[in-house]
Amino acid sequence: NAKVVTALYDRRYAVEDVPFSVPAASEITDLSHLINKLLAASSADHKYVEFDFLINGQFLRMPLVTHMEMENISTEEVVEIEYVEKYMAPQPEECIFHDDWISSVQATEEWILTGCYDQTAQIWSLEGKSVMKIAGHTEVVKDVAWVKQDSLSCLLLSASMDQTVLLWEWNVEKNKVKALHCCRGHAGSVETIAVDGTRTKFCSGSWDKMLKIWSAVPTDEEDEMEEAANRPRKKQKTEQLGLTRTPLATLSGHTEAVSSVLWSDAEEICSASWDHTIKLWDVETGDLKSTLTGNKVFNSVSYSPLCRRLASGSTDRHIRLWDPRSKDGSLVLLSLTSHTGWVTSVKWSPTHEHQLISGSLDNIVKLWDTRSCKAPLYDLAAHEDKVLCVDWTEAGLLLSGGADNKLYCYRYPATASDVGA
């Protein structure tokens, strides 16, 4: 029963800055009881709150003494144990049924946009009501993205295996959808699209190893296609799908298919590929800025402006965190390991610098805190088949879709202390 003297402090639930002696065998619940007793002693109207504890930025997940043994912390010294209010479990909200596999999802405050393997993109309300089914692609829709949202009309994008990206205008009031532009130029299925911060450009990555940057502003003019001498049958199709648009720029450098793309900055694109690299591009010049080399195929990449880290999901069990600004190129900061299948999709929390969500082929969606890299905060095991996409909105909504044709929504209450963090 080693003597552990701890200094405990917090922002909201502040207690006196006095070292306490805690039994070494105590677990989270014991420590939590201790804090609650202290708080109750200081203020009469205190309600019981569950806490989580951090030692040197690592979550305490086992008895204190074992944790300290693992981390090589001496039990003789005063150890600072930080505590935060325990994150509540995500609350399941909706389960939206689709007709086919869900390849991609992106949600805003009001609407959820999903791409589906039945060659359509679909708009749903947050309550799970089908609002709009956008049909137009001749192949599987692989990715969708919102461009702009007004109360009257919305602009949205859908990328498909038929090598095109379609820019749609959705009139909310009339609930009508119209294909404004058909972005042609890729020679393989378009796997991923990302809209930049100014909402005027977007980037697409494809199986033909190319990244292409397009304008997202609707115009009335049609760009001239170089291969205009196509057969008339094909021409007819394009007429239905709106005006043809050609790319502003093409970024080539990957040697395999591009699987995921995002704008990490106003003028910087980050792309993950099957050639085991994540590349950072300068949009202005079209140059390659740096390359992060892994040793597995990358399925998905996500960037958090809060902590300036990249999270990548690849064709193994690990989620890896990268520092895109590291000069030596391939520094993996941290691996989060708990999945048992490929990690198909990762997404950072837009509001919390430590949290991210990941979906995997082992049918489980996991909610992670980077301070606890051995075990996730929560497992969301609702899917019955492969999880293909996840999303996290600013309002605290977790979305995941997969091969079981279901889109699950969870409400994740972000505690006030998290926002403060």
Partner 1 sequence: PLPPLTPLPSSPLQDIRNTVGNIPMEWYQDFPHIGYNLDGKKIYKPIRNKDELDMFLEKMENPDYWRTVQDKMTGADIKLTDEQVDLVHRLQKGQFGDVHFNPYEPAIDFFTHEVMIHPVTNRPADKRSFIPSLIEKEKVSKLVHAIKMGWIKPRKPKDDTPTYYDLWAHEDPNSILGRHKMHVPAPKMKLPGHEESYNPPPEYLLSEEEKLAWEQQEPVERKLNFVPQQFQCLRAVPAYPRFIHERFERCLDLYLCPRQRKMRVNVDPEDLIPKLPKPRDLQPFPTTQALIYCGHTSLVRCLSVSPSGQWLVSGSDDGTVRFWEVSTARCMKTLPVGGVVKSIAWNPNPTICLVALAVDQVVLLVNPGLGDKLLYGATDQLLESFVAPEEERVQPVRWMTATAEEHGRGIRLHIQHSKPVKQVTWHGKGDYLASVVADHSNMQVLIHQTSKRWSQNPFRKSKGLVQCVLFHPIRPYFFVATQRYVRVYNLLKQELTKKLMTNCKWVSSMAIHPGGDNIICGSYDSKLAWFDLDLSTRPYQLLRHHKKALRAVAFHRHYPLFASGSDDGTVIVCHGMVYNDLLQNPLLVPVKVLKGHVTTLDLGVLDVLFHPTQPWVFSSGADGTIRLYT
Distances, alpha carbon 305 to alpha carbons 63, 117, 232, 349, in Å: 34, 31, 47, 10
Contact flags string 339-378 toward partner 1, x per CB under 8 A: --xx------------------x-----------------
Q: Is residue 28 helix, strand or coil?
A: helix
Sheet holding 176-184, edge to edge: 141-149, 153-160, 164-171, 176-184, 243-245
Residue of the chain from 256, 265, 268, 282 that contacts partner 1 (CB under 8 A): 256
Of 1 and 295, which CB lies nearer to partner 1 in the complex structure?
295
Residue of the chain from 1, 174, 295, 327 that contacts partner 1 (CB under 8 A): 295
The alpha helices in 231-379, defined as continuous H runs, are 232-240
Using CB atoms within 10 A of its CB, is residue 78 exposed (0-12), middle (13-18) or buried (19+)? exposed
Q: Which range binds partner 1 by CB under 8 A, 107-115, 150-158, 289-297, 404-412?
A: 289-297
Residue of the chain from 192, 271, 299, 338 that contacts partner 1 (CB under 8 A): 299
Of 185 and 376, which CB lies nearer to partner 1 in the complex structure?
185
Using CB atoms within 10 A of its CB, is residue 232 exposed (0-12), middle (13-18) or buried (19+)? exposed
Question: Is the sign of the CA dihedral 244, 282, 193, 161 positive or negative?
Answer: positive
Residue of the chain from 157, 203, 364, 388 that contacts partner 1 (CB under 8 A): 388
Shortest separation between residue 332's beta carbon and partner 1, angstroms:
16
Shortest separation between residue 330's beta carbon and partner 1, angstroms:
15
Q: What's the token pair of residue 54?
A: 């951090």
Residue of the chain from 117, 303, 378, 408 that contacts partner 1 (CB under 8 A): 117
Number of residues that bind partner 1 (CB under 8 A): 26
Asked whether position 208 contacts partner 1 by CB under 8 A, the answer is yes
Residue of the chain from 52, 82, 94, 162 that contacts partner 1 (CB under 8 A): 162
Asked whether position 257 contacts partner 1 by CB under 8 A, the answer is yes
Q: Which residues 73-112 are close enough to bind partner 1 by CB under 8 A? A: 101
Max Cα-Cα span within the chain: 84
Shortest separation between residue 254's beta carbon and partner 1, angstroms:
12
Asked whether position 321 contacts partner 1 by CB under 8 A, the answer is no
The answer to whether 323 and 283 have CB atoms below 8 angstroms apart is no
Asked whether position 409 contacts partner 1 by CB under 8 A, the answer is no
Shortest separation between residue 333's beta carbon and partner 1, angstroms:
21
User: How many Å apart are CA 124 and CA 131, to the nearest integer?
Assistant: 5
Asked whether position 403 contacts partner 1 by CB under 8 A, the answer is yes
Q: What's the token pair of residue 45?
A: 């109207």
The CB-based long-range contact list for 207-210 (8 Å cut-off, 24+ gap) reads 207/257, 207/258, 208/257, 209/252, 209/254, 209/255, 209/256, 209/257, 209/258, 209/273, 210/186, 210/250, 210/251, 210/252, 210/254, 210/258
Of 104 and 264, which CB lies nearer to partner 1 in the complex structure?
104
Beta bridge partners of 125: 111
Asked whether position 274 contacts partner 1 by CB under 8 A, the answer is yes
Asked whether position 143 contacts partner 1 by CB under 8 A, the answer is no
Q: Is 282 left (phi over 0), alpha (psi -120 to 50) or beta?
A: beta
Shortest separation between residue 189's beta carbon and partner 1, angstroms:
7
Contact flags string 24-53 toward partner 1, x per CB under 8 A: ------------------------------
Residues engaged in binding partner 1 (CB under 8 A): 101, 117, 140, 162-163, 187-189, 207-208, 256-257, 259, 274, 295-297, 299, 315-316, 341-342, 361, 386, 388, 403
